[in-house]
Structure 1
Amino acid sequence: MTAEPDPPRRRRGRPGYDQEAILRTAVELFNRKGYDATSMGDLAKELGLTKPAIYHHVTSKEQLLGLALDDALDELTAVVTEAAEAPAGRTAHERLREVVRRGVEVLVAHQPSVTLLLRVRGNSGVEMAALDRRRRLDERLAALVAEAAAEGALRDDLPPALVSRLLFGMVNSLVEWYRADGAYDPATVADAITTVAFEGLTRRDGRGPDQAS
């Protein structure tokens, strides 16, 4: 019996740096300076590496952008897909609430990548592909809104596509102010957004402003 050949050795980069670490720094730099204004030389300086050392891990700045946008979109897509394709037994209203709640969790966990995603304008093929994926997410969420309205759980006098954008907009607004070391933890923020979106701010006990005290 002949011995099996050893598996090919995995190519290793410079100690202390891998693609994930380079991507993390690149996203921070893109958000700070703007993607178009950031060069690979800027990234090399930020990392304390040479450009050839970076190219050992990635082929281009555009690849870094694509990886960052996928980091945000893959998680959001998984959340919406799971809700849209959930087995029978859960109402559309329940699944829609879950999308909003989990959307907050995704944004908090991937805030730098989501921030970058919200800033792309379609200036390249990578950006156009990301915008197309966002559009498809909007469409799937709008279909879920329409389904919940058909169940009678939501009012039906508002366009589902508009409601979808407003829901995503409420969640996406977190990129402007949420900080992990701030006053509110992710669960508190998720509870608040879900409550405001689906129950509103009006008191349920019938007490008006003159009766609040």
Structure 2
Amino acid sequence: MTMARRDTYTPDTLLAVAVRVFNERGYDGTSMEHLSKAAGISKSSIYHHVRGKEELLRRAVARALDGLFGILAEPGATDGRAVERLEYVTRRTAEVLMAELPYVTLLLRVHGNTDTERWALARRREFDQQVAELLKQAAAEGDLRTDIDVRLATRLLFGMINSIVEWYRPERGSAAPEVSAAVVRMAFAGLRVT
């Protein structure tokens, strides 16, 4: 007599599989069939955990966004001069990106095709705006160059940080603390008043 295989997936392990498949195939290119094959479980087993594919997407991008917004509540982001808080937020953003690499990668690839994607894009813009405010405050306090447009500096800063998803692979020996420290050194060597 053969025993039926028991579904050993939890919502978290299923989410990890979904994020991997979304990043490989793209969210729009992923079906529930793709997810069930990747997880090695039936579609009905997936529906036991979630209502559908978009719920998995929302959970995944929420995890990335929660990590980013959590930074803004940390003491290093709320205490001290604006430039020090900005450096802290920059370092921690790079650290969160590397710690939550698959989830942040997915967040950076949403296009706004679904309600969840539009929500995620709006939340990303909100985070960017809060960081831009720190840049403005640091410039007003005389710690950052005033000849660089704040919006441009914000875009360039996040462009550098977000590019980490394209090349960072911890298994290849890149140490997250070294990467985040290099991001801060490079960015603020050009932004700080000398």
Same fold at TM > 0.5: yes
1:149 and 2:128 aligned: no
Matching residue of 1:21? 13
Contact 2:91/2:181 (CA < 8 Å) preserved in 1? Answer: yes
TM-score normalised to the size of structure 1? 0.83
More helix by share: 2
C-alpha deviation, 1:96, in angstroms: 0.3
Runs of 4+ aligned residues of structure 1 deviating over 4 Å after TM superposition are none
Contact 1:69/1:113 (CA < 8 Å) preserved in 2? Answer: yes
Distance in 2 of aligned mates of 1:183 and 1:65: 29
1:66 and 2:54 aligned: no
TM-score normalised to the size of structure 2? 0.91
Q: Which has the larger radius of gyration?
A: 1
Contact 2:132/2:151 (CA < 8 Å) preserved in 1? Answer: yes
C-alpha deviation, 1:52, in angstroms: 0.7
- Give unpaired runs (5+ residues) of structure 2: 1-5
Distance in 1 of aligned mates of 2:74 and 2:173: 31
- Give unpaired runs (5+ residues) of structure 1: 1-13, 205-213
Matched residues, number: 186
Contact 1:115/1:175 (CA < 8 Å) preserved in 2? Answer: yes
Contact 1:84/1:140 (CA < 8 Å) preserved in 2? Answer: no
Distance in 1 of aligned mates of 2:11 and 2:181: 35
1:163 and 2:116 aligned: no
C-alpha deviation, 1:168, in angstroms: 1.3
For residues 74-118 of structure 1, give each alpha carbon's deviation from its aligned partner in whole angstroms, at most 9, with x where no partner exists: 11011134479724xx10000000011101110011100111111
For residues 140-188 of structure 1, give each alpha carbon's deviation from its aligned partner in whole angstroms, at most 9, with x where no partner exists: 1111000000111100122212211211111111000000112320010
